[in-house]
Chain A
Amino acid sequence: MKGLLLVAGKEIREGMRNRWVVAATLLLAALALTLAFLGAAPAGRVGAGALEVVVVSLSSLSIFLLPLIALLISHDAIVGEMERGTMLLLLSYPLTRWQVVVGKFLGHVVILGVATLVGYGAAAVALAVAGEAIAADSWRAFALMIGSTVLLGAAFVALGTFVSAMVEARGTAAGIAVGLWLLSVLIWDMALLGMLVADQGQTIGAAMLDALLLLNPADAYRLFNLAGLPNVGQLSGMGGIAEGSGLSAPVLLGALGAWVLVPLAGAVAVFARREL
């Protein structure tokens, strides 16, 4: 346990030193603030609460940005240390392999979590300070959005770590990471849409569509935030899918959780058998 925390702590310290934390926080805060003040304009003053608009626009943004940041940080975690030669020394210490993998994962999730919380939190605080009336429900939706965003980030950190434990070279890991990102945030949905149009409702039923959506962590996140939360669903235009879908919020969160645990377990298993 102690070894695990030490590895995680070192990862966080390095993240702060490398400016990863600062860069990610500033990026997320800048976008969140921009969306909070400019993005509210089209919604006008009627109907939608200011924070709901922010939840919708920020979660749409998170789907693209968080996986990218998570994969950027994590794809290098293991193969990078192996290539630089620092892994050899680390493993000569009384540490088990799983402690190294999980410690690095935890460190990266903390980096992402802090960046998300501070970055997005800044937007909410700014709205509150600007005098917007924000209902308790909106705060809840916002908190759930932040929590699920961190979970989305953790899923992609786990995926990146898994890739990093598998490959022989950093370049390969980077390539696969880019591929994963494109697949999950762009290609998957387009392919799904194409299939649905081509299929004309012949074979792909609601249950199958649900399964296909859960197979992509980004979609599970999207459904959870855009359709699953009251008042937000109507705003995002995702209400239609949500009504036809049998996926409840706990199922969606469970799917995201599985997307964290399964790749992480895979990374541990692969790294435990690797020779240096």
Chain B
Amino acid sequence: MRADAPAIALEQVAKRYGKVEAVRDVSFTLPQGVLAALVGHNGAGKTTLMKMMLGLARPTAGRMLVLGRDPSAGGIEARRQLGCLPENVTFNAALTGREMIRFFARLKGESTKAADGLLERVGLGAAAGRRIGTYSKGMRQRLGLAQALLGSPRLLLLDEPTTGLDPEVRQGFWSILAEFVARGTTVLLSSHALEELEGKAERVIILDRGRVVADGAMDELRRLARLPVRIRVRLAAGASRDWLPSDAVVLQDRDACEVEMACAPEEKMDLLRRVAAEGRATDLDLLPPTLDELYAHFLQGRSDLEARP
């Protein structure tokens, strides 16, 4: 595969289960070496999309290429270079963690040594000889991650990878992913823990009822949404308040007065200059719209559109 060829290319892909349209008219391409997130409610079509990318379900319409090949053609070549972590991953409980990962390693033509190394890497070295039936949910999730990373994959498909992980393990998880992305691996993960994607996902694709409602870099989406920027200011003692915009909200007024105000993105600098004027404020926080707000905004936009006659 050429270095500039997209890792994933979807063109008007649709999937219908009986009367239910799980995915409709989804098109996007992901270049190699990016970390992208699929965001959406349960039932928005994230898992169905991933199943189609794995060739486990056939699209009813549209075309898709994963690592340069059509996954529903049934070939196994693309799957050699692909790592996958399904949602709520489960394993055969009777086997030990080491047996399981070695089995998967052999399937991918990876050495058992590399497999053991990955177990260490996700912190399961000590539990490797125990049966998976005795593992906690977080441990199973880590084993799932370890098997996905086998064989230096060029594409990682991770469905809700951080559910059940402790905050500490979560940090490790993100740093491992960053390492793979730096080496040119494409990562597509789905999540509904939006706040943790901030600063990590270069690209966010928001799905709703099987449709893409927004797709872009986090900053781009913010610009598109034109959500107000909020500024939180701690006023200097005894400073006048008549310069405050009329929509400013007093958060607390005990030891020092804290107010929060919102403004359109293009008015941000004006407002900042007013705040920064001599003697008005002792501290300020700039709060860009969070992904949660963005998500709510785009979903809101959808229902407005649909409400129109």
Identify the A interface with B (CB < 8 A).
Answer: 2-3, 6, 10, 13-14, 17-18, 84-86, 88-89, 91-97, 272, 275-276
B82 at the interface (CB under 8 A from A): yes
B139 at the interface (CB under 8 A from A): no
**Given that A88-B86, A92-B79, A94-B79 are contacting pairs, would A6 and B107 also be in contact in the complex, using a CB cutoff of 8 Å?**
yes
The minimal Cβ–Cβ distance linking A143 to chain B, given in whole angstroms, is 33
**Given that A18-B94, A85-B90, A86-B90 are contacting pairs, would A92 and B82 also be in contact in the complex, using a CB cutoff of 8 Å?**
yes
> Is A93's CB under 8 angstroms from B79's CB?
yes
> Is A94's CB under 8 angstroms from B107's CB?
yes
**Given that A88-B86, A94-B79, A276-B57 are contacting pairs, would A17 and B94 also be in contact in the complex, using a CB cutoff of 8 Å?**
yes
> Is A84's CB under 8 angstroms from B90's CB?
yes
Instruction: Identify the stretch in B98-106, B190-198, B248-256 within 8 Å (CB) of chain A at 4 or more residues.
Output: B98-106
Query: What would be 14 A-B contacts, judged by CB atoms less than 8 Å apart?
Result: A10-B103, A13-B99, A14-B92, A18-B94, A85-B86, A86-B91, A86-B92, A89-B90, A89-B91, A89-B144, A93-B107, A94-B79, A275-B56, A276-B56
Q: For B172, list chain A residues within 8 Å (CB).
A: none
> Is B94's CB under 8 angstroms from A95's CB?
no
Q: With A10-B103, A91-B54, A92-B82 given, can you name 9 additional A-B contacts, CB distance below 8 Å?
A: A6-B103, A10-B92, A14-B94, A17-B95, A85-B88, A89-B90, A95-B107, A275-B51, A275-B58
Most central of A91, A93, A275, A276 by chain B CB within 10 Å: A93
Q: Is the interface of A mostly helix, strand, loop or mixed?
A: helix
Q: For A272, list chain B residues within 8 Å (CB).
A: 74
Q: For A86, list chain B residues within 8 Å (CB).
A: 90-92
Bound: A97/B79 CA distance, A: 13
The minimal Cβ–Cβ distance linking B21 to chain A, given in whole angstroms, is 15
Bound: A94/B76 CA distance, A: 5
B-side interface residues, number (CB < 8 Å): 30
Q: For A17, list chain B residues within 8 Å (CB).
A: 94-95
The minimal Cβ–Cβ distance linking B198 to chain A, given in whole angstroms, is 28
> Is A276's CB under 8 angstroms from B76's CB?
no
B108 at the interface (CB under 8 A from A): yes
Q: For B86, list chain A residues within 8 Å (CB).
A: 85, 88-89, 92
The minimal Cβ–Cβ distance linking B284 to chain A, given in whole angstroms, is 49
Bound: A3/B80 CA distance, A: 12
The minimal Cβ–Cβ distance linking A265 to chain B, given in whole angstroms, is 17
Residue of B nearest to A85 (CB): B90
**Given that A10-B103, A14-B92, A96-B74 are contacting pairs, would A89 and B147 also be in contact in the complex, using a CB cutoff of 8 Å?**
yes
B89 at the interface (CB under 8 A from A): yes
> Is A85's CB under 8 angstroms from B89's CB?
yes
3 closest Cβ contacts across the A-B interface?
A92-B84, A94-B76, A17-B94
Bound: A97/B73 CA distance, A: 12
> Is A6's CB under 8 angstroms from B79's CB?
no
**Given that A10-B103, A85-B89 are contacting pairs, would A93 and B108 also be in contact in the complex, using a CB cutoff of 8 Å?**
yes
The minimal Cβ–Cβ distance linking B112 to chain A, given in whole angstroms, is 13
Q: When each residue 224-256 of chain B gets 1 if its CB lies under 8 Å from chain A and 0 otherwise, what string results?
A: 000000000000000000000000000000000
Bound: A84/B132 CA distance, A: 14
Bound: A89/B147 CA distance, A: 10
Bound: A186/B107 CA distance, A: 43
Bound: A95/B80 CA distance, A: 9
Q: For A2, list chain B residues within 8 Å (CB).
A: 106
Residue of A nearest to B51 (CB): A276
Residue of A nearest to B81 (CB): A94
> Is A94's CB under 8 angstroms from B99's CB?
no
